[in-house]
Amino acid sequence: MTDIAGVDTIQGLVGEPPRKIRISKDIIRTAEKVRGVWNRNHLAFIPYCFKCRVAVNWVQPPEDGVIFRCPNCKREWEVV
């Protein structure tokens, strides 16, 4: 058996992702449920920017619908 660092499982994307990525409210609700279960089991839910391979910043409360922002490339994820 081989242990693999979690961040190493993130595969790069082909091409350039959009500067603003739209996420449905349903996906956010599902992610919050998963995060709640993981947190109760002492695991973290940490969204990553696939382009930069770094943890994104949470924007709380969301600004103009933006919920995540990459600290490197400034790419934003907007809830629609």
Question: What are 32-65's pLDDT values in tens digits?
Answer: 899 899 999 998 888 888 888 889 999 999 999 9
Does 68 score more than 80 pLDDT?
A: yes
- The domain segmentation of the chain, as residue ranges, is 17-79
pLDDT of 2 reads 64
pLDDT of 44 reads 85
Tokens linked to 47: 């969204």
pLDDT of 53 reads 82
Mean of all residue pLDDT scores within the chain: 87
Spatial contact of 36 and 28, defined as CB atoms under 8 Å apart: no
Residue (of 55, 58, 59, 61) closest to 73 by Cα position: 55
